[in-house]
Amino acid sequence: MFSSSGFPCGRLRLAGRAAARRSPLLCPRMAASSAPSAPPWLPLLGGAHRRLLALGGLSPSAAAAAAGRGAAGAAPCGSGAAGGGFRPSRVAVVVKTTRYEFEQQRYRYAGLSEEDLKQLLALKGSNYAGLLERHRIHTKNVEHVVDSLRNERIEVRLVKRREYNEETVRWADAVISAGGDGTMLLAASKVFDKFKPVIGINTDPERSEGHLCLPVRYTYSFPEALQKLYRGEFRWQWRQRIRLYLEGTGINPAPVDLHEQQLSQEQHSRAHINERFQDQGSDISGPHLLPVRALNEVFIGESLSSRENFKSCKPSFKFSLHRASYYEISVDDGPWEKQKSSGLNVCTGTGSKAWSYNINKVAHQAVEEILKMAKKHGSLNMPLNMELVQKVTNDYNDCLLYSPEEPKMFFSVREPIVNRVFSSSRQRGFSSKVCVRSRCWDACMVVDGGTSFEFNDGAIASILIDTEDSLCTVLLEE
């Protein structure tokens, strides 16, 4: 946990400082406090950072100013036009696995023919022809992106989910995700370089929303997008991300990749157990900065495998009941509060349009009923009509959204249980830091729906935003 100064809270504060000296990745502010005085932008101009700034056409003074702004946590980046264009030499294209490919891989070892697969999908109520058509559309759009890059003499490395790794990120000047929002989250998950752009292309706009991707028209005219990058007709957008520290008793900082495993309930628990045994030799004496950053959200709660088994009157038959998540929470160094709920969601400005929005939004029906009650009690002295209901609903829901570049978080306690033992003084709200102490038995902390960490009784998570973790993305001018 962390105090308002950004240091780990509680008895592990000194251990955190020692860990920071051992590793520059753990709480940079701690390491920086004991380092010799130097210009704040100096360490940002090495390696890939210098290459990106050079490719962007920035002068040394402009580069220093831009890096200094980023280090200070102010406006991360100016417009592309002000600093020149961006022309990468090497691009990694991360390609999603389509549903058609997934089904093929799923039954590959069963030796099914294409006709067998068609019949099996039909039995499940899936349309084989439809899946194949969506796959072809996606493939065609990926080929369009790759051909456009190669026509500009840009070296391209095309990678699938299993092939995408840190080495690929280091090799590339920029990363392009070819898929939807899920592929964009995957592409961003391995990028820790603040100056490495990640650009999303929606390869199936009819079936994918693509909030994190370029406007749909660039899916079909990607050369136009490239020319705008070259001419500087864009703005860098630095999306803030959440970092996580884990400490406490019996913690397991080893991640489980949910994208890769498509886990069943039993597999999910088994994967965490396996990771724990593989990582038994690791040092867990102090706060661990986890090797992942959340672009959308962090969710904490009992995992899918969490269940109570009860014997019925029939022999060998068991049924399951959902187990509520039990934890303690402190917001912005406030008092600890015991809570039971169906889970806790903490999002960024990027994620405020995603799961968090759907957890907290109100429906027109609810607003209409509340306004009718207010009118009935004489508290509302105005005509009640659908226009007013619509306006109040939209105003409330709009308050749930905020800019991806704002360095703050929004937490949501999902379906809180309130009684004489458990409370929920704040069910939702903005914060700069959230600390959670687990009292769960089979819980997980899931980052962007793709990476899971065990989070059981005694584990403590500190959730906060550091502007050094921001993700460099592109906004093209229309």
What average pLDDT does the structure give for the chain? Answer: 79
Per-residue confidence at 233, pLDDT binned at 50, 70, 90?
Answer: very high
Whether the pLDDT of residue 35 is over 70: the answer is no
**Which of residues 358 and 59 earns the better pLDDT score?**
358
Q: What residues form DSSP beta bridges with 473?
A: 237
Burial of 78 (0-12, 13-18, 19+ CB in 10 A): middle
Instruction: Please report the pLDDT score of residue 72 as a whole number.
Output: 33
Concatenating the DSSP letter of every residue in 53-105 gives HHHTT--HHHHHHHHHHHHHTS----BHHHH-----SEEEEEEPPPHHHHHHH
Are 32 and 55 within 8 A, CB to CB? no
Tokens of 80: 């592309």
CA nearest neighbour of 95 among 221, 205, 196, 200: 200
Helices (H) and strands (E) in the chain, counts: 17, 21
Whether the pLDDT of residue 295 is over 50: the answer is yes
Give percent of the chain with pLDDT exceeding 70: 73
pLDDT in tens, 188-232: 999 999 999 999 999 999 999 899 999 999 999 999 999 999 999
Per-residue confidence at 173, pLDDT binned at 50, 70, 90?
Answer: very high
Per-residue confidence at 76, pLDDT binned at 50, 70, 90?
Answer: very low
pLDDT in tens, 114-147: 888 889 899 989 999 999 999 999 999 999 999 9
Would strands 198-202 and 174-179 be described as parallel, antiparallel, or unpaired? parallel
Average pLDDT of 391-397? 96
**Which of residues 21 and 246 earns the better pLDDT score?**
246
CA nearest neighbour of 460 among 327, 325, 345: 327
Whether the pLDDT of residue 326 is over 90: the answer is yes
Are 2 and 13 within 8 A, CB to CB? no
Per-residue confidence at 45, pLDDT binned at 50, 70, 90?
Answer: very low
**Which of residues 178 and 56 earns the better pLDDT score?**
178
Which uninterrupted H or E stretch holds 301?
A: strand 297-302
